[in-house]
């Protein structure tokens, strides 16, 4: 989905929103795709000391070209450490040293619980996927998590079909229509900002749980010219991840 909103695509807006969630000096487990582009953008703007981890054993890679999977050596370029699964999952994550995990999901519920394992088809049958890999460990043991998902009624649900990742430490949920935060009193997701051009009715219609939209909800801040330049010319010039969600 390469929808244009003004002079930028929805995917570029999501990259920028994700980058702004990442903070200087954090140790972050980052998934492939938009989370990876967002981390690279954060490192080139406000969070130059952000250190990225990959579950196969990489610490602080600085790729000049994205590949197509964790095993693609283009993702490994410039890494400070090239270890193994136990090094990052055991010695860092399980010791409580990881600040944030940036993860995708098949479903997210009203409390930020995520499903990356299986969904129920309309005919009642189950469709199973590859599973969460290390996502449960990351969501359970990182100090906070950022989730990214398409904003559809079948994906933003009242209750996930399978609980892969607990929503214990959710910091935000990024969609192609809005940014969710968490209400500290109820622990439910609440709309923190709405993307340009998205109306309240559209947001409610696309959400499978009762939605808390503040009366004066802000519009998601648009990308700056420099952020767009970095995405298009430096980080993902081939548009591998930013030409679509």
Supply the pLDDT for residue 3: 47
Supply the pLDDT for residue 108: 97
Supply the pLDDT for residue 244: 61
Contact criterion met (CB below 8 Å) for 164 and 115: yes
- pLDDT tens per residue across span 55-109: 889 899 988 888 887 788 888 888 898 888 899 999 999 999 999 999 999 999 9
Which residues pair with residue 131 across a beta bridge?
none
Helix (H) or strand (E) holding 138: helix 135-141
Average pLDDT, the chain: 91
Mean pLDDT across 9-17? 95
| Tokens describing residue 160 | 């996930």
Supply the pLDDT for residue 65: 85
What structural domains does the chain harbor? Answer: 4-235 (3.40.1080.10)
Strands 51-54 and 27-30: parallel
On the question of pLDDT at 4 being above 50, the answer is: no
| Separation of alpha carbons 112 and 175, rounded Å | 13
3-state secondary structure of 216: coil
Helix (H) or strand (E) holding 200: helix 200-205
- pLDDT tens per residue across span 119-175: 888 888 888 887 778 889 999 999 999 999 999 999 999 999 999 999 999 999 999
Q: Output the furthest CA–CA distance in the chain (Å, rounded).
A: 49
| Tokens describing residue 139 | 């969501």
Say how many residues make up the chain.
245
On the question of pLDDT at 44 being above 70, the answer is: yes
Share of the chain above pLDDT 70, in %: 97
pTM of the model: 0.91
| Tokens describing residue 66 | 């994205």
């Amino acid at each position: 989905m390469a929808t244009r909103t003004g002079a930028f695509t929805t995917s570029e807006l999501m990259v920028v929103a994700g980058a702004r969630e990442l903070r200087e000096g954090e140790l972050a487990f980052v998934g492939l795709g938009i989370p990876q582009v967002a981390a690279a953008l954060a490192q080139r703007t406000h969070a130059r000391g952000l250190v990225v981890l990959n579950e196969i054993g990489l610490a602080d890679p600085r790729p000049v070209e994205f590949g197509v999977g964790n095993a693609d050596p283009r993702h490994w370029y410039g890494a400070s450490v090239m270890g193994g699964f136990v090094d990052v999952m055991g010695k860092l994550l399980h010791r409580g040293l990881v600040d944030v995990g940036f993860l995708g999901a098949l479903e997210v519920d009203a409390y930020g619980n995520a499903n990356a394992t299986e969904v129920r088809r309309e005919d009642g049958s189950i469709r199973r996927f590859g599973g969460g890999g290390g996502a449960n460990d990351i969501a359970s043991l990182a100090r906070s998590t950022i989730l990214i998902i398409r904003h559809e009624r079948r994906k933003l649900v009242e209750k996930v079909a399978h609980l892969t990742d607990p929503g214990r430490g959710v910091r935000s949920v990024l969609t192609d229509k809005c940014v969710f935060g968490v209400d500290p009193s109820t622990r439910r997701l609440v709309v923190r900002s709405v993307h340009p051009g998205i109306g309240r009715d559209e947001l409610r219609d696309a959400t499978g749980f009762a939605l808390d939209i503040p009366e004066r909800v802000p519009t998601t801040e648009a990308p700056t010219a420099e952020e767009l330049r970095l995405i298009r010319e430096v980080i993902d010039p081939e548009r591998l991840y930013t030409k679509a969600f």
